[in-house]
């Protein structure tokens, strides 16, 4: 609790004066007695008691007005705002090749897209003070979430990622360009892209190396992650009877391109052959890009003056009603 305008509390000094003027000024005795000794033993009526109460009701009303003018406020909560956090764009390939189940560790069958979701989720949770965007791509990029600090919502959007959401192909250059478009107006001290793919650039308009040069000129680092085992990977398909079976799929990752993109922008290239090495890649990115946190505190307040003002109105109304009815004074 706090008062936004406490200077109004000095008005309390005027309350006794206002009460005295209201109830003492210009009043003279209505009936004259030669001696008041005969009145001492008379029983006090309810009207007399209520009349004596009026100054206290009026005083409480004036104090309520002063409290309302001082603007009492209740703190609703304090939010920590990092002033030197990092803005990150997570760019994830969701082409159909990401269905290949070669990411399992110790014999586990795990698709590339599922492994990418799990690892990205852990990465997001380790960076609570950074704004993070999520961009999915195949034949074209699609922004799943703009830069945001609402990481619970971001993770919800991440869990919605599915292969086949976008026309199938791999447009690495366009995806990187979309990420740069999200980051270019950012005022963060550091901006970076984490681009994950399992294929070769075969679609889109923007050349990946040209996009990398643009990122370098903007001071945006790009970390690239190539996903997939070496050689052949099991790819799930359903036969004409609807039965699930696996066919071998050749793993084709343009590692030279991904490495060149990273080097051009001051980032690094990582090869993730399974979920363990994918976690290591993201952990290394997390280690390399630590947030230098300079915290600001912002507290939201709820105004309480309407309640004090309401109390003042009710007290003034009560004082007036009493003065005109049961506590009326006959001159």
Q: Is 90 exceeded by the pLDDT of residue 21? A: no
- CB burial of residue 36 (10 Å; 0-12, 13-18, 19+): exposed
Closest CA to 23 of 62, 51, 65: 51
pLDDT over 90 at 220, yes or no: yes
Residue 110 has pLDDT above 80, yes or no: yes
Asked if 273 contacts 226 with a C-beta cutoff of 8 angstroms, the reply is: no
Question: CA 125 to CA 139: how far, in whole Å?
Answer: 29
Task: At 267, give phi and psi (nearest 5°).
Answer: -95, -155
N- to C-terminal Cα distance for the chain?
Answer: 46
Level-2 CATH architecture, domain 84-288: 3-Layer(aba) Sandwich (3.40)
Distance (Å, whole) CA 182 – CA 148: 11
Across 138-152, average pLDDT: 95
Which of 303, 307, 304, 308 lies closest to 61, judged by CA?
A: 308
- pLDDT number for residue 195: 97
Q: In the chain, what are the domain boundaries?
A: 2-76+303-324, 84-288
- Tens of pLDDT, residues 247-298: 888 888 999 999 999 999 999 999 998 899 999 999 999 988 876 655 566 6
Q: Would you say residue 228 has pLDDT above 60? A: yes
Is the confidence at residue 125, as pLDDT, over 80?
yes
Question: 11-20, 37-46, 194-203, 295-304: lowest mean pLDDT where?
Answer: 37-46
Supply the mean pLDDT for the chain.
Answer: 84
Instruction: Quote the strand ranges of the chain, DSSP E.
Output: 2-3, 72-82, 86-93, 131-137, 141-148, 190-197, 221-227, 232-238, 244-250, 269-272, 295-303
> Residue 31 pLDDT > 60, yes or no?
no
pLDDT above 70 for 83: no
pLDDT bin (cut points 50, 70, 90) of residue 214 is very high
Residue with more model confidence, 72 or 87: 87
Question: How wide is the angle at C-alpha 134 spanned by C-alphas 176 and 129, nearest 5°?
Answer: 115
pLDDT, residue 27, reads 52
């Amino acid at each position: 609790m706090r008062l936004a305008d406490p200077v109004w509390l000095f008005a309390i000094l005027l309350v006794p004066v206002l009460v005295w003027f209201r109830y003492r000024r210009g009043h003279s005795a209505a009936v004259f007695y030669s001696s008041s000794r005969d009145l001492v033993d008379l029983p006090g009526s309810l009207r007399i008691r209520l009349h004596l109460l009026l100054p206290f009701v009026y005083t409480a009303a004036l104090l309520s007005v002063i409290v309302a003018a001082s603007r009492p406020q209740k703190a609703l909560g304090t939010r920590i705002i990092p002033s030197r956090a990092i803005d990150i764009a997570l760019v994830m390939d969701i082409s159909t090749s990401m269905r290949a189940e070669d990411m399992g560790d110790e014999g586990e069958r795990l698709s590339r897209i599922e492994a990418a979701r799990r690892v990205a989720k852990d990465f997001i949770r380790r960076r609570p003070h950074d704004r993070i965007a999520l961009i999915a791509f195949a034949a074209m990029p699609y922004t799943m979430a703009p830069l945001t600090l609402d990481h619970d919502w971001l993770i919800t959007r991440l869990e919605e990622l599915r292969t086949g959401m976008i026309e199938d192909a791999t447009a690495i250059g366009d995806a990187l360009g979309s990420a740069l478009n999200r980051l270019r107006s950012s005022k963060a001290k550091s901006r970076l892209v984490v681009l994950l793919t399992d294929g070769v650039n075969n679609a889109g308009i923007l050349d990946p190396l040209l996009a990398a040069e643009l990122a370098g000129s903007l001071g945006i680092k790009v970390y690239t992650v190539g996903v997939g085992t070496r050689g052949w990977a099991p790819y799930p398909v359903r036969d004409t009877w609807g039965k699930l079976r696996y066919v071998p799929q050749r793993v084709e990752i343009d590692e030279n391109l991904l490495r060149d993109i990273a080097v051009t922008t001051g980032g690094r290239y990582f090869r993730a052959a399974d979920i363990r090495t994918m976690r290591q890649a993201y952990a290394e990115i997390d280690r390399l890009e630590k947030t230098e946190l300079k915290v600001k505190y912002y507290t939201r307040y709820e105004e309480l003056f309407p309640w004090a003002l309401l109390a003042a109105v009710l007290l003034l109304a009560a004082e007036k009603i009493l003065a005109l009815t049961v506590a009326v004074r006959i001159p």
